[in-house]
Amino acid sequence: MSPAPPRPPGPETMVDVRGVAFAYGARAALEDVSFSARAGEFVGLLGPNGAGKSTLVRLVAGLAAPARGSVRLAGLDPAHASRRAVARVCALVPQEPRIAWPFTVREVVMMGRAPRQGLLALPTPFDRGAVQGALEACDLAHLADRRLDALSGGERRRVFFARALAQEPRVLLLDEPTAFLDLAHQVMVMRMAAVAARGGLCVVAVLHDLNLAAAACDRLVVLSRGRVVAEGAPSDVLTAQRVREVWDVPVWRGENGVTGAPVVLPAFDRER
Protein backbone atom coordinates (compact mmCIF):
# COMPACT_ATOMS: atom_id res chain seq x y z
CA MET A 1 0.00 0.00 0.00
CA SER A 2 1.58 3.29 -1.09
CA PRO A 3 1.85 6.07 1.49
CA ALA A 4 -0.73 8.86 1.40
CA PRO A 5 0.45 11.94 -0.45
CA PRO A 6 1.54 14.79 1.81
CA ARG A 7 -1.11 17.35 2.62
CA PRO A 8 -0.67 20.72 0.94
CA PRO A 9 0.40 23.43 3.40
CA GLY A 10 -2.41 25.56 4.87
CA PRO A 11 -2.76 29.28 4.31
CA GLU A 12 0.23 31.26 5.50
CA THR A 13 -0.10 33.14 8.78
CA MET A 14 0.40 36.78 7.86
CA VAL A 15 -0.38 38.50 11.16
CA ASP A 16 0.80 36.93 14.41
CA VAL A 17 0.33 38.79 17.70
CA ARG A 18 1.47 37.06 20.89
CA GLY A 19 1.00 38.27 24.47
CA VAL A 20 1.05 41.94 23.53
CA ALA A 21 0.74 44.75 26.05
CA PHE A 22 0.71 48.48 25.32
CA ALA A 23 -0.03 51.60 27.35
CA TYR A 24 -0.46 55.32 26.78
CA GLY A 25 1.44 56.65 29.77
CA ALA A 26 -0.17 55.16 32.84
CA ARG A 27 -3.28 54.03 30.96
CA ALA A 28 -3.17 50.43 29.75
CA ALA A 29 -4.60 50.04 26.24
CA LEU A 30 -3.82 46.34 25.61
CA GLU A 31 -2.97 43.55 28.01
CA ASP A 32 -1.88 40.03 27.03
CA VAL A 33 -3.52 40.19 23.58
CA SER A 34 -2.94 37.35 21.13
CA PHE A 35 -4.50 36.67 17.75
CA SER A 36 -3.49 35.65 14.24
CA ALA A 37 -4.80 36.08 10.72
CA ARG A 38 -3.99 34.06 7.62
CA ALA A 39 -3.75 34.72 3.91
CA GLY A 40 -7.19 34.47 2.35
CA GLU A 41 -8.98 35.39 5.59
CA PHE A 42 -11.13 38.40 6.50
CA VAL A 43 -10.92 39.03 10.26
CA GLY A 44 -13.06 41.64 12.00
CA LEU A 45 -11.91 43.33 15.22
CA LEU A 46 -14.94 44.27 17.30
CA GLY A 47 -15.46 45.94 20.66
CA PRO A 48 -16.78 49.10 22.29
CA ASN A 49 -14.98 52.43 22.10
CA GLY A 50 -11.70 52.34 23.99
CA ALA A 51 -11.38 48.55 23.79
CA GLY A 52 -7.97 48.76 22.07
CA LYS A 53 -8.92 47.88 18.48
CA SER A 54 -7.21 50.81 16.74
CA THR A 55 -4.16 50.48 18.98
CA LEU A 56 -3.85 46.84 17.97
CA VAL A 57 -3.99 47.77 14.28
CA ARG A 58 -1.28 50.41 14.82
CA LEU A 59 0.97 47.77 16.39
CA VAL A 60 0.42 45.39 13.48
CA ALA A 61 1.24 48.21 11.04
CA GLY A 62 4.45 49.00 12.93
CA LEU A 63 3.41 52.52 13.91
CA ALA A 64 4.16 51.67 17.54
CA ALA A 65 6.04 48.92 19.36
CA PRO A 66 4.50 46.77 22.09
CA ALA A 67 5.73 47.20 25.64
CA ARG A 68 5.62 43.43 25.97
CA GLY A 69 4.99 40.51 23.65
CA SER A 70 5.64 40.16 19.94
CA VAL A 71 4.08 41.20 16.63
CA ARG A 72 4.98 39.63 13.30
CA LEU A 73 3.79 40.76 9.90
CA ALA A 74 4.60 38.15 7.24
CA GLY A 75 7.60 37.28 9.39
CA LEU A 76 8.74 40.90 9.83
CA ASP A 77 8.90 42.78 13.10
CA PRO A 78 6.95 45.78 11.77
CA ALA A 79 8.09 48.23 14.46
CA HIS A 80 11.76 47.69 13.60
CA ALA A 81 11.73 46.84 9.87
CA SER A 82 12.17 49.66 7.36
CA ARG A 83 8.97 51.49 6.43
CA ARG A 84 9.50 50.54 2.79
CA ALA A 85 9.77 46.85 3.69
CA VAL A 86 6.57 47.07 5.73
CA ALA A 87 4.77 48.99 2.96
CA ARG A 88 5.60 46.24 0.46
CA VAL A 89 3.71 43.81 2.68
CA CYS A 90 1.00 45.85 4.38
CA ALA A 91 -1.37 48.70 3.49
CA LEU A 92 -3.23 50.60 6.20
CA VAL A 93 -6.37 52.67 5.75
CA PRO A 94 -6.37 54.72 8.97
CA GLN A 95 -9.41 55.89 10.88
CA GLU A 96 -8.91 59.55 9.92
CA PRO A 97 -6.72 59.69 6.79
CA ARG A 98 -5.36 63.12 5.94
CA ILE A 99 -3.28 64.69 3.19
CA ALA A 100 -2.20 68.30 3.61
CA TRP A 101 -1.93 69.32 -0.04
CA PRO A 102 -4.85 69.47 -2.53
CA PHE A 103 -3.83 66.54 -4.72
CA THR A 104 -6.23 65.02 -7.21
CA VAL A 105 -7.85 61.67 -6.54
CA ARG A 106 -5.64 59.98 -9.13
CA GLU A 107 -2.49 61.49 -7.59
CA VAL A 108 -3.46 60.26 -4.11
CA VAL A 109 -4.14 56.75 -5.36
CA MET A 110 -0.82 56.79 -7.25
CA MET A 111 0.90 57.39 -3.89
CA GLY A 112 0.06 53.78 -3.09
CA ARG A 113 2.54 52.72 -5.75
CA ALA A 114 5.50 54.43 -4.02
CA PRO A 115 6.86 51.30 -2.26
CA ARG A 116 7.12 49.59 -5.66
CA GLN A 117 8.70 52.46 -7.59
CA GLY A 118 12.33 53.45 -8.08
CA LEU A 119 14.15 56.46 -6.67
CA LEU A 120 12.63 58.86 -9.21
CA ALA A 121 9.10 57.52 -8.57
CA LEU A 122 8.27 57.73 -12.26
CA PRO A 123 5.00 55.86 -12.92
CA THR A 124 5.20 52.95 -15.33
CA PRO A 125 2.33 51.62 -17.44
CA PHE A 126 1.94 48.92 -14.80
CA ASP A 127 1.58 51.61 -12.08
CA ARG A 128 -1.02 53.47 -14.11
CA GLY A 129 -2.94 50.25 -14.72
CA ALA A 130 -2.94 49.38 -11.00
CA VAL A 131 -4.21 52.87 -10.16
CA GLN A 132 -6.96 52.74 -12.77
CA GLY A 133 -8.07 49.34 -11.54
CA ALA A 134 -8.24 50.61 -7.95
CA LEU A 135 -10.23 53.69 -9.02
CA GLU A 136 -12.75 51.55 -10.84
CA ALA A 137 -13.04 49.05 -7.99
CA CYS A 138 -13.87 51.88 -5.57
CA ASP A 139 -16.31 53.67 -7.90
CA LEU A 140 -13.95 56.65 -8.23
CA ALA A 141 -13.03 56.71 -11.92
CA HIS A 142 -15.43 59.58 -12.58
CA LEU A 143 -13.77 61.58 -9.78
CA ALA A 144 -10.16 60.85 -10.77
CA ASP A 145 -9.31 64.45 -11.68
CA ARG A 146 -11.16 66.08 -8.78
CA ARG A 147 -9.16 67.57 -5.92
CA LEU A 148 -9.28 65.65 -2.67
CA ASP A 149 -10.43 68.72 -0.71
CA ALA A 150 -13.48 69.02 -3.00
CA LEU A 151 -14.83 65.60 -2.01
CA SER A 152 -17.21 64.55 0.74
CA GLY A 153 -15.90 62.65 3.76
CA GLY A 154 -17.26 59.39 2.40
CA GLU A 155 -15.68 59.95 -1.01
CA ARG A 156 -12.32 60.70 0.61
CA ARG A 157 -12.60 57.47 2.60
CA ARG A 158 -13.00 55.53 -0.65
CA VAL A 159 -9.96 57.32 -2.12
CA PHE A 160 -7.74 56.03 0.68
CA PHE A 161 -9.18 52.55 0.30
CA ALA A 162 -8.28 52.74 -3.41
CA ARG A 163 -4.77 53.92 -2.52
CA ALA A 164 -4.36 50.84 -0.31
CA LEU A 165 -5.54 48.52 -3.12
CA ALA A 166 -3.13 50.16 -5.58
CA GLN A 167 -0.31 49.36 -3.15
CA GLU A 168 -0.85 45.64 -3.88
CA PRO A 169 -0.26 44.52 -0.29
CA ARG A 170 -0.35 41.04 1.14
CA VAL A 171 -2.03 42.35 4.31
CA LEU A 172 -4.79 44.96 4.24
CA LEU A 173 -5.50 46.76 7.54
CA LEU A 174 -8.72 48.76 7.71
CA ASP A 175 -9.55 51.00 10.68
CA GLU A 176 -13.30 51.68 10.57
CA PRO A 177 -13.48 51.48 6.75
CA THR A 178 -17.24 52.11 6.60
CA ALA A 179 -17.23 55.32 8.66
CA PHE A 180 -18.96 58.25 6.90
CA LEU A 181 -20.20 56.01 4.08
CA ASP A 182 -23.82 55.62 3.04
CA LEU A 183 -25.34 52.14 3.12
CA ALA A 184 -24.60 51.33 -0.52
CA HIS A 185 -20.94 52.24 -0.18
CA GLN A 186 -20.63 50.48 3.19
CA VAL A 187 -21.74 47.30 1.48
CA MET A 188 -19.41 47.98 -1.45
CA VAL A 189 -16.38 48.42 0.81
CA MET A 190 -17.16 45.28 2.80
CA ARG A 191 -17.70 43.32 -0.38
CA MET A 192 -14.37 44.56 -1.79
CA ALA A 193 -12.61 43.55 1.42
CA ALA A 194 -14.19 40.10 1.25
CA VAL A 195 -13.25 39.74 -2.42
CA ALA A 196 -9.68 40.80 -1.61
CA ALA A 197 -9.53 38.06 1.03
CA ARG A 198 -10.88 35.46 -1.38
CA GLY A 199 -8.14 36.57 -3.77
CA GLY A 200 -5.50 35.64 -1.18
CA LEU A 201 -5.01 38.81 0.87
CA CYS A 202 -5.09 38.79 4.65
CA VAL A 203 -7.66 41.43 5.61
CA VAL A 204 -8.03 42.73 9.18
CA ALA A 205 -10.64 45.41 9.85
CA VAL A 206 -11.76 47.39 12.89
CA LEU A 207 -15.55 47.46 12.68
CA HIS A 208 -18.41 48.85 14.74
CA ASP A 209 -21.38 47.54 12.76
CA LEU A 210 -21.92 44.06 14.16
CA ASN A 211 -24.27 43.02 11.37
CA LEU A 212 -21.92 44.07 8.55
CA ALA A 213 -19.10 42.27 10.35
CA ALA A 214 -21.20 39.12 10.72
CA ALA A 215 -22.20 39.21 7.06
CA ALA A 216 -18.74 39.76 5.59
CA CYS A 217 -16.06 38.42 7.94
CA ASP A 218 -14.75 34.86 8.16
CA ARG A 219 -13.77 35.28 11.80
CA LEU A 220 -14.35 37.83 14.55
CA VAL A 221 -12.11 38.87 17.44
CA VAL A 222 -13.86 40.77 20.24
CA LEU A 223 -11.89 43.05 22.55
CA SER A 224 -13.07 44.57 25.80
CA ARG A 225 -10.97 46.74 28.11
CA GLY A 226 -7.79 45.85 26.26
CA ARG A 227 -8.24 42.08 26.28
CA VAL A 228 -9.53 39.49 23.81
CA VAL A 229 -12.78 38.10 25.25
CA ALA A 230 -14.02 36.07 22.27
CA GLU A 231 -12.74 34.75 18.94
CA GLY A 232 -14.29 32.55 16.29
CA ALA A 233 -16.94 32.32 13.61
CA PRO A 234 -19.54 35.14 13.67
CA SER A 235 -22.36 32.76 14.59
CA ASP A 236 -20.39 31.56 17.63
CA VAL A 237 -19.11 34.94 18.76
CA LEU A 238 -22.18 37.16 18.40
CA THR A 239 -24.47 35.68 20.99
CA ALA A 240 -27.05 37.86 22.73
CA GLN A 241 -25.37 37.26 26.09
CA ARG A 242 -21.91 38.23 24.86
CA VAL A 243 -23.12 41.41 23.14
CA ARG A 244 -24.99 42.38 26.30
CA GLU A 245 -21.91 41.75 28.45
CA VAL A 246 -19.38 43.50 26.19
CA TRP A 247 -21.43 46.44 24.92
CA ASP A 248 -23.75 46.70 27.94
CA VAL A 249 -26.81 46.76 25.69
CA PRO A 250 -29.71 44.27 25.69
CA VAL A 251 -30.23 42.88 22.18
CA TRP A 252 -32.36 40.60 20.09
CA ARG A 253 -30.28 38.04 18.24
CA GLY A 254 -31.62 36.21 15.21
CA GLU A 255 -30.48 34.96 11.81
CA ASN A 256 -30.59 36.45 8.35
CA GLY A 257 -33.25 34.48 6.51
CA VAL A 258 -31.28 34.65 3.25
CA THR A 259 -27.66 34.09 4.32
CA GLY A 260 -27.98 32.52 7.77
CA ALA A 261 -25.58 35.12 9.23
CA PRO A 262 -26.34 36.28 12.76
CA VAL A 263 -28.33 39.50 13.13
CA VAL A 264 -28.10 41.62 16.27
CA LEU A 265 -30.55 44.43 17.03
CA PRO A 266 -30.86 46.55 20.16
CA ALA A 267 -33.87 45.66 22.29
CA PHE A 268 -34.93 49.28 22.46
CA ASP A 269 -38.03 50.15 24.48
CA ARG A 270 -39.35 53.58 23.45
CA GLU A 271 -41.56 53.72 26.53
CA ARG A 272 -38.58 53.91 28.89
**Residues 104-145: tens digit of each pLDDT:** 999 999 999 888 776 667 788 888 999 999 999 888 999 999
Residue 1: what pLDDT? 39
Reported as a single tens digit per residue, the pLDDT across 231-243 is 999 999 999 999 9
What are the extents of the domains in the chain?
13-266
Mean pLDDT of the chain: 89
- In angstroms, what CA-CA distances link 36 with 59, 65, 143, 236? 13, 17, 37, 18
User: Tell me, what's the pLDDT at 97?
Assistant: 74
Grouping H, G, I as helix, E, B as strand and the rest as coil, residue 248 is coil
pLDDT band for 98, please (50, 70, 90 cuts).
confident
Q: Is the pLDDT of residue 2 over 70?
A: no
Looking at the predicted structure, is the pLDDT value of residue 272 above 70?
no
Q: Is the pLDDT of residue 74 over 60?
A: yes
Give the model's pLDDT for residue 269: 66
> Do residues 159 and 151 lie in contact, with contact meaning Cβ atoms separated by under 8 Å?
yes
Provide the CATH number for the domain formed by 13-266 in this structure. Answer: 3.40.50.300
User: Would you say residue 6 has pLDDT above 50?
Assistant: no
What DSSP assignment string belongs to 172-206? EEEESTTTT--HHHHHHHHHHHHHHHHTT-EEEEE
* pLDDT 10s digits, 21-71: 999 988 999 999 999 999 999 999 999 999 999 999 999 999 999 999 999
141-169 residue pLDDT tens:
999 999 998 988 888 888 999 999 999 99
Q: Report pLDDT for 180.
A: 82
